[in-house]
């Protein structure tokens, strides 16, 4: 039964909002600006997080890079030699899934008439266990390749296509230049590189085609590597294992742990998250102020509206409107006004972010919860700031109201 | 049988600053079902104050007012709203239609507060507008109507919840002679159909339509007479 009044009140609210279009719009402006800035900043934050998460996932969340940290004071013995790597492998057998020099060799490859710039990444057997590698043909580099220092290579599909005009090239050989020597490498496999489009975008134009070779093959045993690529087993803490490795290697090399740097995405992720969170807090504060101003605008215009409609309120009371009927009428009107502002603000905010996202081609994340929250919050503002004017209208004496000119 | 309106020793005092104005002094009246009463008097005579009290818009300072046996000054503001809604149909001098709201909606308004369903409301409003001869104006806004038409809409609205009393405060005050006559004939007709009508006016020509005239002066009744030959419509 009460529904009748609700429905009528919503109709009345829309009528009076539409009757003063310009005024309603100006009143809503505060809420529109507040809500649209909240929505856009929240979704910029979410989108940024999304992009960063994609990048971290590509890199590997349990991945770390250990490198010689102190460039100003280093000795050739600080580098990682094959024997060091073997020692580390043995010592951290359980805690590390994978450890391998982090290095790649670039070479021009000429095959028939095509010239391709090839980037050969040094990997260990089992790389495909820690990173997703989609094999198209043949096999991946395995541990016997490492042991035997096999002259083999696994090409990325595009490299194969550019060199041979087809991608099934297992069994063919290519000639590459490694350490100033020309080497013939047997192609044992072809894979397809799968990378998030964001990362591709951020890396920009890549002139080199990708491939994998056994890390033991290119250099002699007295070659020192600058950095190591490490994957930590899931149940161990990235940080603690890092400290252990640094301590171990420092002791081995007669150095301090500060001579080595251990980099993980976890740290970076924490940093980015704290930036995003900090930004959100700052924006929330600004939004709160603009919504407060918007709310005061609504209160102001509702007071004007109540005064203008004093006589109407008197008539309605004379005809049987109770205090709460009048209260609800005006509360619904201010809630409708601010909810409309919230909806317009949400649409504007999303529109702006999508437009921006379109121009820098970054996927935009819009959290549906934030939309619902924004509109609900706008409505609450309307009810909160509309309460005083509505109460004033509801409590007016019908005789005074009828006499009002 | 209980009278429709029973007012006993009613007084109303307004305080403006330190000055007390005695708008009504110890007034007692009884009005029965089916009567057509005109309350007359010059401005300041207390007739409007009485009208407000009868209409449950105002409360007496002292004395008692029973409307259909309900002691009005004991009711809360919301209970009074309900009583006005069910028992009293108001017709004002200034028409008091809701602006920006069409004729049909204006007539439906008291039924909205009475929680009548939408379809029923519409049917009843159409029926009433037919009765006052405005069925072809239902979608017009009040400011598109003449004074006489506005007042007819107001009468249709007053009848919406079928109240026992129609309370008309100078209903012809803003109308030309011809429209005034039309409106008064509608009241006559309604009274003939059984509605009780209480009319407040200062014009003797208008008061002539009533069967009983109560004259006010300085907050007191100075005359209460029935037209010759009229006892009581229900008698």
Q: How far is CA B82 from the centre of its chain?
A: 16
User: Does A8 sit within 8 Å of B112, measured CB to CB?
Assistant: yes
Question: What is the predicted pLDDT for the residue at A188?
Answer: 95
- In this structure, are residues B5 and B59 in contact, taking their beta carbons and an 8 Å threshold? no
**Residue B110 near chain A (CB below 8 Å):** yes
Q: Please tell me the distance in Å from A3's CA to the nearest CA on chain B.
A: 9
A11: its two tokens: 């109709």
Cα–Cα dist A69/A387, whole Å:
63
DSSP annotation string for A211-270: EEEETTSSS-TTPPBSEEEEEE-TTS-HHHHHHHHHHHHHHHHT--GGGEEEEEHHHHHH
Query: Is B23 part of a structural domain of the chain?
Result: no
Count Cβ–Cβ pairs < 8 Å, chain A vs chain B.
Answer: 68
Q: What is the pLDDT of residues A228-266, one digit of tens each?
A: 999 999 888 888 898 999 999 989 888 888 888 888 887
Question: Stretch A167-171: mean pLDDT, rounded?
Answer: 92
Interface pTM, i.e. ipTM: 0.91
The answer to the question of residue B71 being in a domain is no
Task: Select from A95, A114, A202, A213 the least CA-distant residue to A154.
Answer: A213
* B84 contacts chain A (CB < 8 A): yes
B59 belongs to a structural domain: no
Contact B96 A402 (CB under 8 A): yes
What's the whole-number average pLDDT of chain A? 87
Return d(Cα A189, Cα A116) in angstroms, integer.
Answer: 18
Q: Is B92 on the interface with A (CB under 8 A)?
A: yes
Rounded to an integer, what distance in angstroms lies between the CA atom of residue B87 and that of residue B85?
Answer: 6
- Nearest CA-CA distance, residue A7 and chain B, Å: 10
A23-63: pLDDT as tens digits: 899 989 988 988 898 888 888 888 888 888 888 877 788 88
Return d(Cα A213, Cα A109) in angstroms, integer.
15
- The residue to which tokens 């019908």 are assigned: A398
Per-residue confidence at A111, pLDDT binned at 50, 70, 90? confident
Cβ distance B115 to A316 less than 8 Å, yes or no, reads no
> CA A239 to CA A254: how far, in whole Å?
22
Cβ–Cβ gap B57/A320 under 8 Å: no
- Res. A112: pLDDT tops 80: no
> pLDDT tens digits, residue range A264-308?
887 778 888 888 888 878 877 887 888 888 899 999 999 999 999
Residue B198 lies in a domain: yes
Residue A333 has pLDDT above 70, yes or no: yes
How many domains are contained in chain B? 1
- First-to-last C-alpha distance (Å) of chain A: 34
Query: Whole domain around residue B126: which residue ranges?
Result: 34-47+77-234
Looking at the predicted structure, is the pLDDT value of residue B231 above 70?
no
B81 to chain A, any CB pair closer than 8 A? The answer is yes
Collect all residues from A whose CB is shorter than 8 A from any CB in B.
Answer: 1-2, 4-5, 8, 15-16, 19, 311-312, 314-325, 398-399, 402
Residue B230 has pLDDT above 60, yes or no: no
- Whether B58 sits inside 8 A of A399 (CB atoms) is yes
- List of chain A residues whose C-beta atoms are within 8 Å of the C-beta of residue B150: none
For A390, counting Cβ atoms within 10 Å of its Cβ (0-12 exposed, 13-18 middle, 19+ buried), the class is: buried
Domain of residue B107, CATH code:
3.40.50.300
Q: How large is the average pLDDT for residues A223-232?
A: 91
Strand partners, A128: none
- Whether B60 is in a domain gets the answer no
CB pair distance less than 8 Å for A319 and B58: no
Which one of B57, B75, B78, B79 would you mutate to disrupt binding with A, by most A Cβ within 10 Å of its Cβ?
A: B57
Is the CB of residue B113 less than 8 Å away from at least one CB of chain A? Answer: yes
B21 touches chain A (CB under 8 A): no
- What CA–CA distances, in Å, run from B30 to B27, B37, B67, B188? 10, 11, 10, 21
Q: Which of the four pLDDT bands, split at 50, 70 and 90, describes residue A3? A: low
| pLDDT at site B233 | 44
Residue B85 covered by a domain: yes
Q: What are the chain B neighbours of A1 within 8 Å (beta carbons)?
A: 115
State percent of chain A over pLDDT 90: 40
> Residue B98 and residue A315: Cβ atoms within 8 Å?
yes
Q: How many CA atoms lie within 13 A of A100 on its CB side?
A: 26
Give the burial class of A205: count Cβ atoms within 10 A of its Cβ; 0-12 exposed, 13-18 middle, 19 or more buried: exposed
pLDDT at B229: 59
- With CB atoms and an 8 Å threshold, state whether B96 touches A315: yes
Whether B141 is covered by a domain: the verdict is yes
Q: Considering only the beta carbons, identify the residue of B84, B85, B98 that sits closest to A312.
A: B98
CA atoms of A152 and A211, how far apart (whole Å):
11
Distance from CA of B89 to the nearest CA of A (A): 8
pLDDT score recorded for residue B196: 95
Q: What are phi and psi of B63, to 5 degrees?
A: 95, 175
> What whole-number distance in Å separates Cα of residue A69 and Cα of residue A256?
11
Q: Phi/psi of residue A156, each to 5°? A: -80, 150
Within a domain: residue B6? no
Q: What is the mean pLDDT of chain B?
A: 91
DSSP string computed for A365-376: P--HHHHHHHHH
**pLDDT for B104-155, tens place per residue?**
999 999 999 998 998 999 999 999 999 999 999 999 999 999 999 999 999 9
Which pLDDT does position A292 carry in this prediction? 87
pLDDT tops 90 at residue A398: no
Would the CB atoms of B90 and A312 count as touching at under 8 Å? Answer: no
Q: Using one digit for the tens of pLDDT, what is the confidence trace for B159-178?
A: 999 999 999 999 999 999 99
Percent of chain B at pLDDT > 70 equals 96
Cα separation of A102 and A293, whole Å? 56
Between strands A209-214 and A114-123, the pairing is: parallel
Confidence of residue A405 (pLDDT cuts 50, 70, 90): low
* Cβ–Cβ under 8 Å, residues B84 and B160: no
């Amino acid at each position: 039964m009460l529904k009748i009044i609700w429905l009528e009140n919503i109709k009345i609210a829309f009528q009076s909002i539409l009757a003063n279009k310009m005024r309603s719009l100006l009143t809503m402006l505060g809420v529109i600006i507040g809500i649209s800035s909240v929505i856009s900043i929240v979704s910029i934050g979410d989108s940024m997080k999304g992009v960063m998460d994609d990048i971290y996932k590509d890199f590997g969340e349990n991945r770390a890079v250990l490198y010689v940290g102190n460039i100003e004071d280093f000795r050739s013995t600080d580098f990682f030699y094959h024997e060091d790597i073997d020692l580390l492998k043995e010592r951290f057998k359980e805690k590390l899934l994978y450890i391998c020099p982090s290095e790649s060799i670039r070479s021009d490859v000429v095959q028939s008439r095509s010239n391709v710039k090839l980037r050969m990444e040094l990997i260990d057997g089992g790389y495909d266990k820690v990173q997703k590698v989609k094999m198209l043909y043949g096999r991946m580099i395995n541990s016997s390749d490492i042991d035997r220092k096999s002259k083999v290579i696994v090409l990325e599909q595009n490299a194969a296509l550019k060199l041979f005009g087809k991608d099934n090239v297992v069994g063919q050989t290519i000639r590459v230049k490694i350490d100033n020597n020309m080497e013939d490498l047997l192609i044992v496999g072809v894979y397809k590189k799968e990378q998030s489009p964001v990362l591709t975008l951020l890396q920009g134009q890549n002139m080199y085609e990708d491939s994998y070779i056994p890390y033991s093959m290119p250099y002699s045993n007295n070659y020192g590597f600058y950095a190591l690529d490490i994957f930590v087993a899931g149940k161990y803490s990235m940080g603690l294992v890092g400290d252990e490795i640094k301590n171990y290697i420092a002791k081995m090399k007669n150095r301090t742990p500060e001579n080595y740097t251990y980099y993980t995405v976890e740290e970076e992720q924490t940093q980015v998250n704290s930036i995003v969170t900090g930004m959100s807090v700052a924006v929330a504060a600004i939004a709160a102020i603009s919504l407060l101003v918007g709310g005061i605008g609504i209160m102001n215009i509702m007071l004007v509206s109540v005064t203008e409609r004093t006589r109407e309120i008197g008539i309605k009371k004379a005809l049987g409107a109770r205090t709460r009927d009048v209260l609800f009428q005006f509360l619904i009107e201010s809630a409708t006004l601010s909810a409309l502002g919230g909806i317009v603000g949400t649409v504007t905010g999303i529109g702006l972010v999508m437009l921006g996202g379109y121009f820098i081609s970054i996927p935009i994340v819009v959290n549906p919860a934030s939309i619902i929250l924004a509109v609900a919050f706008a409505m609450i503002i309307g009810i909160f700031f509309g309460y005083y004017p509505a109460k004033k209208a509801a409590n007016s004496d019908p005789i005074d109201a009828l006499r009002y000119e | 049988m209980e009278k429709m309106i029973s007012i006993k020793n009613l007084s109303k005092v307004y305080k403006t600053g330190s000055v007390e104005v005695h708008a009504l002094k110890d007034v007692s009246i009884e009005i029965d079902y089916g009567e057509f009463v005109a309350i007359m008097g010059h401005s300041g005579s207390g007739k409007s104050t009485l009208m407000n009290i009868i209409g449950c818009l105002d409360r007496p300072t002292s004395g008692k007012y029973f409307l259909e046996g309900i002691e009005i000054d004991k009711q809360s503001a919301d209970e009074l709203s309900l009583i006005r809604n069910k028992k009293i149909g108001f017709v004002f001098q200034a028409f008091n239609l809701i602006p920006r709201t069409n004729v049909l909606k204006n007539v439906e308004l008291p039924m909205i507060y009475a929680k009548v369903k939408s379809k029923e409301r519409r049917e009843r409003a159409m029926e009433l507008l037919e009765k006052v001869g405005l069925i072809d104006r239902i979608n017009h806004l009040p400011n598109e109507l003449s004074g006489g038409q506005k007042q007819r809409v107001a009468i249709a609205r007053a009848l919406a919840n079928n109240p026992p009393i129609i309370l008309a405060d100078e209903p012809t005050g803003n109308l030309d002679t011809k429209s005034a006559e039309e409106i008064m004939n509608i009241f006559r007709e309604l009274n003939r159909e059984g509605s009780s009508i209480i009319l407040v006016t200062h014009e003797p020509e208008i008061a002539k339509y009533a069967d009983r005239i109560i004259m006010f002066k300085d907050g007191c009744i100075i005359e209460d007479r029935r037209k010759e030959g009229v006892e009581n419509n229900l008698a």
